[in-house]
Amino acid sequence: MPVEKTAPLEKPEKIDDPVPAGGGDRGERGDKWMAWGLVAASAAVFWPVTRWLVAESAARDQIRQAVILLGAAVVMVVWRQGEALRVRGDLCNRTLGLLGVGFGAVAVAGLAKLPWLVLPGFALALAGCLHALFGATGYRLFRPLVAGVAALFVIILAFPVLDWPLRQLAGVGSGWVLHHLGLAPNLSLMGEPGDPQLVLSVAGGHFLVATECNGFGLITSGALVAILAGGITGRRWWTIAALVPAGMAIGFLFNVLRILLISTTARYFPGHYDLLHEAAGTLALWCGLGLIGWIAWRPERR
């Protein structure tokens, strides 16, 4: 019985070589390196702003408090959300847009002689760097810190403008309370026109309402705590907007209480005024910020 011949098997088509293993990982590593490069470029461009920020913070205790609060907020975010934070190298349109506008603000500031534009540029570039490193998810966790840095710039610029008005408000507010307590206070203005000094006299003592007594640090720190605590716990923006003036009002109130405590008890601690001054200031600071934090640190029900 003859055997039928079968057609020869066709030569199989050549299969393309597979993509080498780890190619995606190399791309991801490249994005991470590019993200770090953008961070380094931003640090170089905004180095003068960083140096100015450090100098201003070191010069005044009231501003240094705000920097300490920002550092504590960073630690809090990392401690609470550490597992969600990893370097992603997210070079999306939002990242590049934030960095581009930030760098553009520096260019416009130089060309138009508007140095103040560098400050919002710094905040935008900081947002872009955080977005580049941690992606959209990580950036949402750090977004309250960007708002806090922007608030810090406002605090530094407002200090010389608000120093004297706040001293007046603190002195008048303290005198009003002392008057209603029946202690017959007296406010007097001393010094030169360019350097006025406000003196509160009560119960035989004379107390200078100096720059350290203007409550600026406590008021601005109260606003900053409201921004940071409300933002970290996920409060809605309109809730945070309401918490900021509430924090400032609480800060002003506790500063007045500090002046009242010092002026009414100093005569009982002769020779220890400096210790009383520091103790009363520390007590008012932490009690005031503690109250503001307690109000703001409550996740909003959705």
Distance (Å, whole) CA 69 – CA 233? 16
DSSP codes, 254-289: HHHHHHHHHHHHGGGSTT-HHHHHHHHHHHHHHHHH
pLDDT given for residue 214 in this prediction = 85
Among 278, 275, 281, smallest CA distance to 251 is for 281
Residue 61 lies in a domain: yes
Answer for the pair 267, 207: CB distance below 8 angstroms, yes or no. no
User: How many domains are contained in the chain?
Assistant: 1
Whole domain around residue 109: which residue ranges? Answer: 27-296
pLDDT given for residue 25 in this prediction = 59
Q: List phi, psi (to 5°) of 281.
A: -65, -45
pLDDT digits (tens, 9 = 90+) for 3-46: 444 444 444 444 444 444 444 555 567 788 898 999 999 999 99
According to DSSP, the residues that pair with 198 across neighbouring strands are 189, 209
According to DSSP, the residues that pair with 208 across neighbouring strands are 199
pTM for this predicted structure: 0.81
What is the DSSP pairing of strand 205-209 with strand 195-202? antiparallel
| CB neighbourhood size of 64 (10 A) | 14
Answer for the pair 101, 121: CB distance below 8 angstroms, yes or no. yes
Residue 3 lies in a domain: no
According to DSSP, the residues that pair with 128 across neighbouring strands are none
Residue 20 lies in a domain: no
**Rounded (5°) CA angle 23-24-29:** 100
Distances (CA, A) of 158 to 62, 184, 276: 12, 33, 29
Residue 14 lies in a domain: no
Q: Cα–chain-centroid distance for residue 109?
A: 23
Distance (Å, whole) CA 125 – CA 95? 9
Answer for the pair 262, 208: CB distance below 8 angstroms, yes or no. no
Distances (CA, A) of 152 to 146, 147, 172: 10, 9, 27
Give the DSSP letter of residue 197. E
Distance (Å, whole) CA 70 – CA 73? 5
User: Tens of pLDDT along the chain (302 residues)?
Assistant: 444 444 444 444 444 444 444 445 555 677 888 989 999 999 999 999 999 999 998 888 888 888 999 999 988 888 877 777 788 888 889 999 999 999 999 999 989 999 999 999 999 999 999 999 998 888 888 999 999 999 999 999 998 899 889 989 998 999 899 888 888 888 888 877 777 888 888 877 888 888 888 889 899 999 999 999 888 888 888 889 999 999 999 999 999 999 999 988 888 888 888 888 889 989 999 999 999 999 988 766 65
Sign of CA dihedral 275, 281, 285, 286: positive
Residue 104 lies in a domain: yes
Distance (Å, whole) CA 190 – CA 214? 16
Residue 153 lies in a domain: yes
**Rounded (5°) CA angle 53-87-51:** 10
Residue 55 lies in a domain: yes
* Tokens 């553009």, located at residue: 104
Residue 88 lies in a domain: yes
